[in-house]
Amino acid sequence: MLASSGWLLACAAVAVIAVIALGLGRYAIEPLEVVRILLARLGIIEADVPDTARRVVELVRAPRILSAALAGAILGMTGAALQGIFRNPLVGPQIIGVTSGASFGGALAILLVGTTAATVGFAFVFGLIAVFIVYMIARVGGQAPVLMLVLAGVVVSAAFTAFVSLIKYVADPNDTLPAIVYWLMGSFATATYDKLGILALAVLVSALVLHALRFRINIMSLGEEEATALGIRVEPTRWVILAAVALGVAGVVSVAGVVGWVGLVMPHLARMIVGPDHRKLLPAAALAGAGYLIIVDTLARTMSAAEVPIGILTALVGAPVFAVLLRRLHLKGWGRG
């Protein structure tokens, strides 16, 4: 009973953050007006709201806040899952190559095609390709040991990062280069309902798979031998999880570019609160990530007239928080079993 009210409280907190964020922005709208617009849209009240305010809330802020929430949630969740199966607190979605693969795909699409649909599609496909290459490199005798996976991830990330640099080198410095650079830094400024739909689909599938495998992630976090001894087929399970992670992260990268640190820091924060059991850790990391990214994105769009790239803010906040968390790691939370 106590536990379920805690979850309710956490969900309510994220919802409150989202509604407050909906009332903040460069275009001044009274908070009450925002509430009226929301209630009118939901059909709860009949209200005559100004067209400009309605468009700002419904077409600019709402898709952006929902995108940030979904992206934060899936980054937190995938980070927690990866840290579990790799038994390594320093692992984030970047480590399996999906982020750099998706970055390359998106940059290539901006260079060659220039449409949103192409950016999303390319980022997605190349994110999955990167994971597949990691798998092919890491596979030794039908198995992929954790060390090989991590090293293969580093190699593939380095290669795709080089390809991204190559694209930046050949891109038109006036037109496509700023677009690529800005997209790579990460931003929800271009959020639309179309992009939100794509993100939501990727997040939903990814989250459902990870949620379904939460017990297995628990067992795999005990170690490979223990998991095998307990009857888990480690290899296939690991790859299903990696594919789910790739899907979720590629979805984020394709609509918002590279948003670093969330997948690394939020699982730690969640673990300090709910402990290492992935049945609780996965949803907790998702809620923490969602709330956090809404706050950071609100800062990014309100601090100055010019947009602040969100990657700068998540790194500025994330790095010191991560340092503190690392110091506390051996005291609390990371213990297993």
Partner 1 sequence: MSPRFVPRQTQPVSRARALRISSHTAKATLLVAGVLAAAAVAGATIGKADDQPITITDVNGNSVTLAAPSIRSAPLPPPLGTFAIAIPGDADHLVTAHPWSKAVMMQGLLSSYFPQLADLPTGAIGGGFVPNIEALLATDPDLVFQVGFMGDDVLTPIIATGLPVLTINVTANDDAVDWIPMMGAAYGVDERAETILSWRQDTLTSITETLADLPDADRPTVAHLARYGDALRVVGGVHFRSWQIEAMGGVNVAAEVPQRSAEISAEQLIAWDPDVILLNAFQPELTPQMVYDNPVLQSLTAVRERQVYAFPIGGDRWEAPVAESPLGWMWLSELLHPDRFQWDYTAEITSAHELLYGHAPQAGDIARMLRVDANQSSAGYERFSTF
Where along the sequence are the contacts to partner 1 (CB under 8 A)? 25-28, 51-52, 55-56, 59-61, 114, 116, 119, 168-175, 177-179, 182-183, 187, 189-190, 301, 304-307
Q: Counting beta carbons within 10 angstroms of the beta carbon of residue 305, is it exposed (0 to 12), middle (13 to 18) or buried (19 or more)?
A: exposed
CB closer to partner 1 out of 137 and 312: 312
233 contacts: CB under 8 Å, gap ≥ 6 = none
CB of 64 to partner 1, least distance (A): 8
Shortest Cβ 250–partner 1 spacing (Å): 18
Give just the sign of the alpha carbon dihedral 22, 202, 250, 87: positive
H-helix segments, 176-305: 176-185, 193-212, 214-220, 224-229, 234-256, 262-274, 278-302
3-state SS of 65-104? HHHHHHHHHHHHHHHHHHHHHCCCCCCCHHHHCHHHHHHH
Tell me the DSSP string of 16-50. HHHHHHHT-SSS---HHHHHHHHHHHTTSS-----
Cβ proximity to partner 1: between 18 and 210 the closer is 18
Q: With respect to partner 1, which residue has the nearer C-beta, 1 or 170?
A: 170
Cβ nearer to partner 1, comparing 224 with 307: 307
Smallest distance from the beta carbon of 158 to partner 1, in angstroms? 21
Cβ 63 to partner 1, closest distance in Å?
Answer: 10
Joined tokens for residue 129:
């390709």
* Closer to partner 1 by Cβ: residue 118 or 205: 118
Q: By C-beta, is 78 or 119 nearer to partner 1?
A: 119
Considering the complex, state which of residue 124 and residue 322 has its C-beta at the smaller distance from partner 1.
124
Burial (CB count <10 Å: 0-12, 13-18, 19+), residue 44: exposed
Question: Shortest distance, CB of residue 303 to partner 1, whole angstroms?
Answer: 11
Half-sphere exposure of 277 (CA within 13 A, CB side): 4
Least distance from C-beta 159 to partner 1, angstroms?
A: 21
Cα–Cα–Cα angle for 294, 13, 73, rounded to 5 degrees: 45
Question: How big is the chain by its Cα radius of gyration, in Å?
Answer: 20
DSSP state of 330: T
**Which residues, other chains included, contact 195 with Cβ-Cβ below 8 Å and sequence gap of 6+?**
63, 67, 116, 120, 255
Nearer to partner 1, 9 or 28 (CB): 28
Q: Minimal distance in Å, beta carbon 173 to partner 1?
A: 4
Q: To the nearest whole angstrom, how small is the minimum distance from the Cβ of residue 166 to partner 1?
A: 11
